[in-house]
Each structure stands twice: as C-alpha cells, then as structure tokens.
C-alpha cells in the first residue's frame, strides 16, 4: 500500500566553531531530528545544499564568513530559503538582533546555552515547518501530494530511473461525468466522493509510488521501477476496478467510472512536463472512446492532440474576427411545389478560401464551450437574414441547430429573447432544432424551458429523429412542432426495407400526434415520390437545394416560381 504522507525526518544544521557550544546544541536537538554539523560558512553551505535543512542554528562570529553573511547567502538560494534560521550568540546588543532579523533569521537564542530553552525553541520551529510543508505540498481536501510535491518526487524518480536504466509510468486519471455530480448534488457531496476515490487509489498503490491530486477530479499517479509493460496494464485495470466499485455517500449509492491516460519514461518523454502532456493526450483519447477505459500514449495520439490544440486556437481567432459564415438550405413543400422554410448551417472558411466541415470543429467547439458564442453568432445572423427576407415579402421560417451545451446554458432563454428583440424577427419564424440527446437529461427542466419558448411563439423541431433517445414519451409530454426524419433512413429507403419501414412508422406517428414531418437528405426523385406516397410532404436535400450563402439564396428565391421538381 502506498503511503502518501509527507513525513521524512526533519533536518537540523548546526553551524558553530566552538566545540563546547556544538556539544550543548547537539545534545539539545539530537532527539528531534537528523543533525548535521558545520564549523564554518563554506562547509555549512555545502552541507545545506546536500541535506536541505528545516532549521539552522547559526553562530554570528565565525572564521572566514560571518553568520550574517551566511544567512544572507542561504536566503538568496531558492532551494534553501525556506529554512528557519535561529541565531545562537553571546552578543546581547539590540543592533545584532535587528541585523539578524533583517537578514532573514526568525529567532535569537542567547548564550550561555540552556538545553531546555534551545530544545523548546527548535521544537516550536520544527512544528511550524512541518505544518508549512503540509500546506505547501499536500492537497487540503484529500491530503494527497499536490502538484508541487509531485514535481519534487518526479524529479527524484526520474533521476533514479536515468541512473538505473529503469522505466517509470505517469498515469493521468479523470473521473467520468464528475462535473454533473457537482452541478446536481453540490460540492459537499463531490468532495466526499473525491476523498473516497483518493482512499481507494492509495489503498491499491505501492509504497514506492506516488498518488497525487492535481485539482478537481484529476489524479496523477507516478509508478516507478517498472520491469514489464504488462505490470502497468494490470495496475491500471485494477485502478479502474476499484473506482467502479459502488460507493455509498450519506446513504446514496454512486457508481463511478474513470478514464486513464498512460505515458512511459523514457519512451514517451524525458521530463515531467512531456510525460504529463502525453498522458493527457492519451486520457483524452480514452474519453473520446467512451467511459471506464485507458489508453497508452502513441505518436498518433500526440499528432491528434496537436491538431486539436491548433484547431481550437484557429476557432477562437475565427470567432473573434467574425469569419464564420451562415449558409442556408431551403425546405420544400413538395405537394405545393413551393419553399416553406430554410435551415441555417454554419460554415467556416479558412484564409485560403477552403471550407472546414462542421463535423471537424463542432464537437471540439462543444467540448471547449466555444459553441455558446459561436451558436449565438449563428442565431443572430440567421434571424437577421430571415427578417430581411420578411421585409422583402418572403415569409420563411428559419431553423437553427441548438447543441446540448447551448441548451443547458443558464442564459439560453435570455439569449433567444435578446436576439429576437435585436433583429425584430417574429418569434413564430424561428424554429429551434434540437436533437433527441438534449431531451435525455432532466425532463422537468427541459419541459419548463420548451414551454417558455413555446409561450414566446418559437417553434421546436426534433432533428435527426429516430437516431437518439430511445423513449418516445417526450413526444406527448413536450411542446414539439416538427419531426425531422434523419437522412440515414432516407438514404437507403429504396433498397433497405427496414429503413422504409422506420420512415413509415415515423410518418404515421407524426400524423397521429399532429406534428409536421420533414425528410432530410432527399437526393433523388424516387425518394421524393415514395416519401410523398407515405404522407411526408416537406423535404430538404440536394434534390431541391444545396446549402448556399444568403445572397445566393435571395436570388434563388426570386427564381423559385419557375422551378418544378418531379
């Protein structure tokens, strides 16, 4: 079992050129700590840099280098400056005490020496140093080593591994969906879970290894002296097992899972920063593939991570410079041979004119939260353009896709009201397209929000219907206006009887619930004719219109009376 308490023996350095005083001081503190002795300043510096003392007992008058000068040098050294320096001297002048304090000393012991007095002074400062170390090196919630102590231990482990030619692994562990627990049940419950997770990780780890908490629900584990790669896999799988064991917190059961990224020294990096970066990339890959799994770092993961970072950076720049564009794809009422709406689709045009597929950047935008400002920009532009068409006598409802991240934003409803107010578009000409996944969380909150939107006059469409949430009870419980039949069913409906049967079932259900039905991805007249025969009259797809910029859309609308679609 791993011990994560920072409890090395405290170290005291005694610096005095008088042997009689050295004997008294050593007798006073021998039982309190490891004791090192130096007879002059130069020797003291060498010993201090080697043993990193917690307390230094320092005489003022010494040959070659005074105690004041030595104190100043120690306090100027980043690795030694935390040591508590206590001057031990026969000088009783006030100016000496003031000078000692000005150089960085924190106490002053008078000669002739009293063993009980010296012991009491040193014990008090050792206790203070122990508490300061605990605060500096340990996570306050879990009492695990924090980032600073992890760095210190990693340096020691890496030096040992370099000398011995052995391997070391860094494991980055992140709990799945922990943010949801904090958001719904509160941070006090989350803190209790983190304490339990910390205890479990420590319990299954070796004494040689370091289990640390970096913050939030992220833990880093350093595994040293690895003989075989299989040892890492076995250990990681054991960690996932103990995390997945049911957890009882104040009478409530929690079933957690985690993802772990693994990097190995020297294969994946030569220092803590590179190992952490590679483990983070591997952990992200594990998260992408699902819950309760782990991945080792590889060059392909590193390439993906760099590409993601670059993409995110470019997205932020694109958002700031306003280069995201909104294209529109018309929706047609085939039975009446006329357009009956349009869908707003985001496009990102690079500086070289190339369009980036939304599939390449929307998932990352959702993960980073950039989808919120990007989505607002698209919504505002779509409503603005729909109002322009309305002012020209073309009354078209505009559909705007809303991600689950946007929908769960506290300010989402206010944002919709603000955009409608700014653009002047009537609410009934805005149709928000949400996926079934949005409905799978907190039905009461979802219904309340959709009721508010419906009360405003905004239309609600379920996009990609049939591909997500398995329960259909929301169709009768929520104020839905439109079902959009996913293009994956339309694509093969002519050759796959199952897809055709699914479409027919959706149409029948929509008709029974008095919902509008829109078939997406219609690309040929045969699909159109069969959909029309089934009772679906509203269609969207390349057969009728490809996505296009707004100005091109306006020109197309002017020509529409002359168009016929078979």
Amino acid 441: pLDDT: 63
Q: What is the DSSP letter of 293?
A: E
Q: How many residues make up the chain in this entry?
A: 566
| Helix/strand number for the chain, H first, E second | 21, 22
Does residue 525 sit in helix, strand or coil? Answer: helix
Range with the lowest mean pLDDT among 64-78, 101-115, 380-394?
101-115
pLDDT at 454: 93
Report the pLDDT averaged over residues 445-473.
83
**pLDDT-derived band at 303, boundaries 50, 70, 90:** low
Give the highest mean pLDDT range of 340-349, 431-440, 442-451: 340-349
Can you tell me the distance from the alpha carbon of 172 to that of 211, in angstroms, rounded to the nearest whole number? 10
% of residues, the chain, pLDDT over 90 = 36
125-148 confidence digits (pLDDT tens): 888 877 777 777 788 888 898 888
The CATH number of domain 11-137, selected from 3.40.50.261, 3.40.640.10, 3.40.50.2300, 3.30.70.141: 3.40.50.2300
Q: What is the pLDDT of residue 565?
A: 37
Q: Which of 323, 325, 327 has its CA nearest to residue 547?
A: 327
CA–CA distances in Å: residue 196 to residues 140, 174, 207, 283: 14, 14, 19, 22
How far apart, in whole angstroms, are the C-alpha atoms of residue 468 and residue 493?
19
Q: Other CB atoms closer than 10 Å to residue 141's CB: what's the count?
A: 14
Q: What is the pLDDT of residue 442?
A: 67
162-166, 376-380, 467-471, 500-504, range with the lowest pLDDT: 467-471
Cα(150)–Cα(247) distance, integer angstroms: 27
pLDDT of residue 516: 93
Angstrom distance (rounded) from CA 554 to CA 19: 98
Average pLDDT of the residues in 229-253? 86
Look up tokens 């293009």; give the residue: 487
6 pLDDT above the threshold of 60: no
Mean pLDDT of 275-296: 89
Backbone φ, ψ for residue 422 (5° rounding): -65, -40
Please check the confidence at residue 400 and state whether its pLDDT lies above 70: yes
Under the banding of pLDDT at 50, 70 and 90, the label for residue 469 is low
Distance in angstroms (rounded) separating the CA atoms of residues 531 and 495: 14
Angle at 223 between CA 218 and CA 224, to 5 degrees: 150
- Distances in Å between the Cα of 19 and the Cα atoms of 1, 36, 58 are 45, 14, 13
Residue 92 pLDDT > 50: yes
At residue 524, the pLDDT reads 93
More confident residue, 37 or 417: 417
Query: Is residue 519 packed enough to be buried (19+ CB in 10 Å), middle (13-18) or exposed (0-12)?
Result: buried
Is residue 7 pLDDT above 50, yes or no?
no
- Segment (H or E) for 263: strand 258-265
The fold of 324-562 is TIM Barrel (3.20.20)
Domain ranges, ordered by start, for the chain: 11-137, 147-297, 324-562
pLDDT per residue over 494-537, tens digit each?
Answer: 998 888 999 999 999 999 989 999 999 999 999 999 999 999 99
The band of 382, judged by pLDDT with boundaries at 50, 70 and 90, is: very high
**Is residue 420 a contact partner of residue 428, using CB atoms and an 8 Å limit?**
no
Dist. CA 434–CA 412, nearest whole Å: 13
Decide: 538 and 504 in contact? Cβ < 8 Å: no
pLDDT surpassing 70 at residue 471: no
Q: What is the mean pLDDT of the segment spanning 414-439?
A: 92
- In this predicted structure, the answer to whether residue 366 has a pLDDT above a threshold of 90 is no
Tokens read off for 486: 């996913």
pLDDT confidence of residue 475: 81
pLDDT surpasses 90 at 105: no
| Fold type of domain 147-297 | Alpha-Beta Plaits (3.30.70)
Global pTM? 0.56
Q: String of b and e for 110-137 (b: at least 16 CB within 10 Å)?
A: eeebeeeebbebbbebbeebeeebeeeb
CA 292 to CA 477: how far, in whole Å? 34
So what's the pLDDT on residue 54?
A: 87
User: Average pLDDT, whole number, for the chain?
Assistant: 85
CA separation, residue 287 to residues 175, 218, 362, 388 (Å): 10, 13, 17, 44
In angstroms, rounded to a whole number, what is the distance separating the alpha carbons of residues 132 and 120? Answer: 18
d(CA 261, CA 232): 11
User: What value does the mean pLDDT take over residues 285-298?
Assistant: 86
User: Which tens digits make up the pLDDT trace of 148-198?
Assistant: 888 888 888 998 888 888 889 899 999 988 877 777 777 788 899 999 999
Tokens of 37: 């002795």
pLDDT at 107: 79
H or E element in which residue 277 lies: helix 272-289
């Amino acid at each position: 079992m791993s011990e994560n308490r920072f409890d090395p023996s405290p170290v005291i350095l005694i610096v005095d050129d008088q042997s009689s005083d050295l004997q008294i001081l050593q007798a006073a503190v021998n039982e309190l700590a490891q004791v090192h002795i130096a007879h002059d300043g130069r020797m003291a510096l060498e010993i201090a840099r080697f043993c990193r003392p917690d307390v230094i007992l320092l005489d003022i008058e010494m040959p070659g280098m005074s105690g004041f000068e030595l104190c100043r040098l120690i306090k100027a050294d980043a690795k030694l400056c935390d040591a508590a320096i206590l001057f031990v001297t026969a000088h009783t002048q006030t100016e000496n005490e003031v000078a000692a304090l000005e150089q960085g000393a924190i106490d002053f012991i008078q000669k002739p020496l009293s063993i009980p007095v010296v012991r009491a002074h040193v014990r008090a400062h050792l206790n203070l140093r122990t508490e300061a170390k605990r605060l500096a090196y340990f996570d306050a919630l879990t009492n695990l080593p924090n980032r600073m102590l992890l760095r210190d231990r990693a340096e020691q482990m890496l030096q040992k591994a370099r000398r011995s030619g052995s391997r070391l692994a860094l494991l980055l562990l992140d709990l799945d969906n922990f943010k949801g627990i904090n958001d719904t049940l509160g941070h006090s419950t989350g803190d209790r879970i983190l304490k339990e997770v910390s205890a479990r990780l420590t319990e299954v780890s070796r004494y040689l290894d370091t289990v640390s908490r970096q913050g939030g629900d992220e833990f880093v584990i350093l595994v040293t002296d690895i003989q075989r790669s299989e040892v890492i896999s076995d250990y990681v799988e054991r960690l996932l097992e103990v995390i997945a064991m049911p957890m009882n917190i104040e009478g409530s059961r929690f079933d957690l899972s985690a993802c772990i990224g693994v990097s190995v020294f020297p294969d994946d990096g030569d220092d803590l920063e590179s190992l952490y970066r590679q483990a983070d990339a591997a952990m992200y890959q594990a998260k992408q593939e699902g819950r309760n799994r782990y991945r080792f770092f590889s060059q392909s993961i590193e390439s993906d991570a760099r590409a993601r970072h670059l993409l995110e950076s470019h997205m932020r720049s694109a958002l700031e410079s306003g280069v995201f564009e909104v294209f529109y794809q018309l929706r047609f009422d085939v039975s009446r041979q006329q357009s009956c709406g349009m869908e707003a689709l985001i496009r990102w045009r690079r500086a070289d004119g190339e369009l980036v597929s939304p599939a390449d950047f929307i998932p990352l935008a959702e993960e980073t939260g950039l989808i919120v400002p990007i989505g607002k920009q698209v919504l505002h532009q779509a409503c603005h353009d729909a109002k322009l068409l309305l002012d020209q006598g073309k009354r078209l409802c505009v559909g705007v896709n809303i991600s689950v991240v946007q929908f769960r934003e506290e300010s989402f409803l206010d944002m919709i009201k603000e955009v409608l107010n700014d653009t002047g578009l009537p609410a009934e000409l805005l149709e928000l397209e949400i996926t079934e996944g949005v409905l799978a969380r907190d039905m009461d909150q979802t219904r309340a929000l959709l009721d508010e939107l419906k009360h405003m006059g905004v239309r609600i469409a379920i996009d990609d219907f049939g591909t997500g949430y398995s329960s259909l009870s929301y169709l009768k419980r929520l104020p839905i206006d439109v079902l959009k039949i996913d293009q994956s069913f339309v694509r093969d409906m002519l050759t796959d009887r199952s897809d055709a049967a699914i479409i027919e079932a959706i149409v029948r259900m929509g008709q029974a619930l008095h919902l509008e039905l829109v078939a997406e991805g219609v690309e040929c007249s045969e699909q159109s004719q069969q959909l029309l025969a089934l009772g679906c009259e509203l269609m969207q797809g390349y057969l009728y219109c490809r996505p296009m910029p707004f100005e091109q859309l306006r020109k197309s609308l002017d020509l529409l009376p002359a168009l016929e679609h078979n």
